[in-house]
Amino acid sequence: MLPRLLRALCFLLLAAPLGLPVQDARAQNAPPEKPKVTRILFLLDASGSMMAPWEGQPRWEVAKRMLSKMVDSLNAYPNLELGLRVYGHQFPNAEKNCQDSKLEVAFAPRNAAAIKKKLTTLKAQGNTPITYSLEQSANDFPTDKQSRNVLLLITDGLESCNRDPCAASLALQRKHVFLKPFVIGIGAERDFGKQLECLGQYYNAAEVKTFRTVMNDVIAKTLSKTTVSVNLTDANGKPVETNVNMTFVNNVTEQPEYNYVHYRDAQGKADVLDIDALQSYDLVINTVPPVRQANIPIVPGKANVLTYKTPQGTLWLQNPPLSPNPYGTIRAVVRSPAGVTVTAGTFGTRQKLLAGNYEVEALTLPRTVRRLTIKQGQEYTFTYDAPGTLNITSDLKGYGSIYQLNDDESQTWIYDLPQGSSSKINLPMQPGAYRLVFRTGTSNGSKYTDVRNFSIRSGQTTSVAIFGK
């Protein structure tokens, strides 16, 4: 029998929907219309080493007795199905059979009696083909994509068939065959847990009483309801931010499991989300730039409240008062102080940004670059000077560039004229001093390069004529 506390939990859960659907990248977060089925597959080690003594009894006998009590206690659960796969029980260890694995009891509701009866007929004697058993378990779960599939491996040893069970477990999780498995290492005379942690959530049950406690804990985590509320705060820790997309990423499979747009009610409280605690997550708060929290601490069976600082301000990309604007549509690139591109936007729009320092580059000619600081709850207006227009007239095909003249009399390249062009060129440009350098395609030397200085003023047209030499 389960401890009194766990039995009480069982009764509370009888009236509640059992489990959550396994989510995929296209999953909907809306509550299901009807309760979904949770399926627990017990994968039991029946290798020869399970006959070793454990506190005066063979490990095999302890494991069977504990498992029988466990399935008995679960028999009345609604929307719950159990299955039993065993390995190492059909062939003696001397044969080293690496395919000695069989689904002994298929999934069905209220099938504790069938599992208990089957356990009485099995013999522990063979090899430890964990990887093969994991792969075969993919066929044990019905093809119901909305079910919640859980695998519980009970073993006293490591893979004995020179294969990689960790890679197999990860591949099956990525295919959503089952959630992150539970692994219980029993009667361990040596610490082999490090080699099994990669399979899933590992428990070391070196003593019989520990094994009993671990079994109860695993079932409680599997069947208890878990919720998460996320507070998004300003720099002072006040939960004022909201309406931000949040992605819960399975950090084992690296796939998104849940997408939510954050919501706060009229009292300022974040809403409560149903999250499956049998997986581990990174939380990506999709501000600009995003905030990623690795291995968020979700406690199964609890109402978890998580708090993260995401102070935001607004960047307004404002066009100067021109009608029409010679540039047409102008975009801007926003970068971090380290030069990493954060986002790009169009002038005439507003963009929320995390509070901090940025470099904004407007794609004018020449480009307009400014460093700015975004503060919590404030709006920063970024604009550029009203442009003028450069008019170049020439009937000569050739090669040329435009340079910006700096205050120290140096020059900076900003634009290459279209090669071979003989038509009129009109370029909207920022106010300032410039230089045009041009050589005709028919000239016989660099000495025939034509150099012209000119100025651009807002709202005015500057004409530059090019003549051949």
pLDDT for res 10: 39
Residue with tokens 């494991």: 63
| CA distance to 87, 250, 408, per residue, from 278 (Å) | 24, 10, 65
| Distance of alpha carbon 264 from alpha carbon 201, whole angstroms | 33
Is the pLDDT confidence value at 3 over 80? no
pLDDT for res 138: 93
| Distance of alpha carbon 231 from alpha carbon 233, whole angstroms | 6
> Could you tell me if residue 71 is left (phi over 0), alpha (psi between -120 and 50 degrees) or otherwise beta?
alpha
Integer-rounded Cα Rg, in Å, for the chain is: 34
| Distance of alpha carbon 95 from alpha carbon 97, whole angstroms | 5
pLDDT for res 325: 82
pLDDT for res 27: 47
| CA distance to 351, 393, 396, per residue, from 421 (Å) | 39, 10, 8
CB atoms within 10 A of CB 94: 10
pLDDT digits (tens, 9 = 90+) for 400-454: 899 999 999 899 999 998 876 666 788 999 999 999 999 888 888 898 898 999 9
Confidence band (pLDDT; 50, 70, 90) for 190?
Answer: low
Confidence band (pLDDT; 50, 70, 90) for 1?
Answer: very low
β 148-155/38-45 pair status: parallel
pLDDT digits (tens, 9 = 90+) for 27-52: 455 555 567 899 999 999 999 999 99
| Distance of alpha carbon 359 from alpha carbon 339, whole angstroms | 8
Query: Beta partners for 247?
Result: 259, 284
What mean pLDDT value characterizes the chain?
A: 88
For the chain, how far is it from start to end, CA to CA, in angstroms? 103
How confident is the model over 48-68, as a mean pLDDT? 92
Confidence band (pLDDT; 50, 70, 90) for 369?
Answer: very high
Confidence band (pLDDT; 50, 70, 90) for 223?
Answer: confident
- pTM for the full predicted model: 0.77
Half-sphere exposure of 134 (CA within 13 A, CB side): 30
